Amino acid sequence: MYARIGMGCEFSKFSACCRGTEPNRPAPEAQIDENEEKRKADNLPPFHEYTIDQLRKATSGFSVENIVSEHGEKAPNVVYKGKLENQMQIAVKRFNRSAWPDARQFLDEATAVGQLRNERLANLLGCCCEDGERLLVAEYMPNDTLAKHLFHWETQPMKWPMRLRVALYLAQALEYCTSRGRALYHDLNAYRVLFDDEGNPRLSCFGLMKNSRDGKSYSTNLAFTPPEYLRTGLLIQFLSPPSCFSSSSNFVFLVKIHVLRTGLVLIQIRRCLTSRVTPETVTYSFGTLLLDLLSGKHIPPSQALDLIRNRNLQMLTDSCLVGQFSDHEGTELLRLASRCLQSEPQERPNPKSLVNALIPLQKDSEVPSYVFMDIPHAAAAASPLSPLGEACLRMDLTAMHEVIEKIGYKDDEGVATELSFQMWTNQMQETLNSKNKGDAAFRHKDLKTAIDNYTQFIDVGTTVSPTVYARRSLSYLMSDMPEEALNDAFQAQIISPFWYIASYLQAAALFALGRENEAHVALKEGSSLENKKNTN
């Protein structure tokens, strides 16, 4: 395809893409700092099987508020944001119950992917296949997807040096996976590229898992399907819609509808082989990503090649990039995309060749990604602590008690309750009395009485109240019972996922337990949630 598109081309800015051969110079070897890679791996826990209760707790009961994405037709799934007890943020992918019926197959596949550890990946940390559930647990990436930054940006478009960095980092991720025997990546697209807290692009580990139980990757948009899957098949024509036709897991149907002048409807149905992922199809998908980076749009490859042949290169270049790159840089990136989109799979470059081609194109390598992305740096983004945050850091439980007592139950507003007409029965009145007695004891720091009465109220289970859990948590803390305090602080967050008081109490309990690093993470999260609440 690359050699063919160059025939007869005589344009200046991208003329080099019309040459059929590359300069005969050795490409530099791909360089990924092995010490940095080891450091990243050392900071991550080994692959782990989680229980459904752990993940339910981490995601606040799979709360709708924690949904990050929801998609998939052949293998429907939902991705949730979550937080483990050690304060590590995670992404939890929960498959539809009909996916992965074989638990052993799911566990084996997840375990294999979970052995990978690399700074270019959003790494897989664990899984869960308990009680019919199929869940994957990965590192959480807080700064959106490449699709968001390229196609749906709000403040500024992605800068050219950052686009080149994205291309290189993705190629390095694919090279690493290939070197570890995981060359197949399913459904590689701009939504699979995530940005970490430093603004660096990472390739989602979820694409390394088969995305259906039969191990095939189904193309949802035939315009982006590699050409080898559209060559085979038969073309069937009907003068009226067929009453039915059967499909197969091995085929998809490409349908075109034409209204003839006679009023008849002509329906063309083309049966095409579905996309079994191969290393060559992954490279083809990488080529479409290079087009995305160059154009800032999701242009079907066939359309891009037509634009090249017709010399309509303006449509291939993001107008926001004017003046940001040289003719040589644009030419080389387009030429590399063309090589990836070759119609013959064996003519497409492998990941190592992609890395070697992209390294010389890098610009401003010393500039951190968060600067290019205009993302506040984690180290510089910390806001001054509020009085409550300072009290938590100092472990001033008396000051924390004053704040929690002062705000009362106003943060329970909007929290779902299970109260019914039974609240007026003697039993319910007794239950409410236990809460009121607990409040009175909490006010006067009669901690044992407060704990006992709050426990009676909680055990009945008729009312959901994060504040009751928060008050009992602080009572436990002031009674030198940090483990119990931590459990209640987590329970308060499950009920109200974005309540800053719950995070502060977790931090205080973790400080009391000597878990300093985790405590500082919880403290930072509490401060962030409090600032968001005060600015809304």
* Distance, CA of 442 to CA of 450 (rounded, Å): 5
The structure tokens listed for 123 are 């790494």
Residues 375 and 143 sit within 8 Å (Cβ to Cβ): yes
Among candidate residues 275, 288, 88, the one with its CA nearest the CA of residue 186: 275
* Distance, CA of 434 to CA of 210 (rounded, Å): 53
Taking only Cα atoms into account, the Rg of the chain, rounded to an integer number of angstroms, comes to: 28
The structure tokens listed for 295 are 């154009």
The CA-atom distances, in angstroms, between 173 and each of 81, 118, 186, 203, 352 are 23, 8, 14, 7, 10
Instruction: For the chain, give the longest Cα–Cα distance.
Output: 91
187 tagged catalytic? yes
HSE value, Cβ hemisphere, 13 Å, CA-based, for 320: 16
Pairing of strands 193-195, 265-273: unpaired
End-to-end alpha-carbon separation of the chain, Å?
54
Report which residue type is found at 349: P
* Distance, CA of 330 to CA of 316 (rounded, Å): 10
Report which residue type is found at 374: D
Of 33, 131, 144, 187, which one is the catalytic site residue?
187
**Strand extents, DSSP E, 340-379:** none
* Distance, CA of 294 to CA of 180 (rounded, Å): 30
Contacts by residues 450-453 (CB-CB < 8 Å, ≥ 24 positions apart): 450/475, 451/475, 451/476, 451/479
The structure tokens listed for 108 are 């084996």
Q: Which residues are catalytic?
A: 187
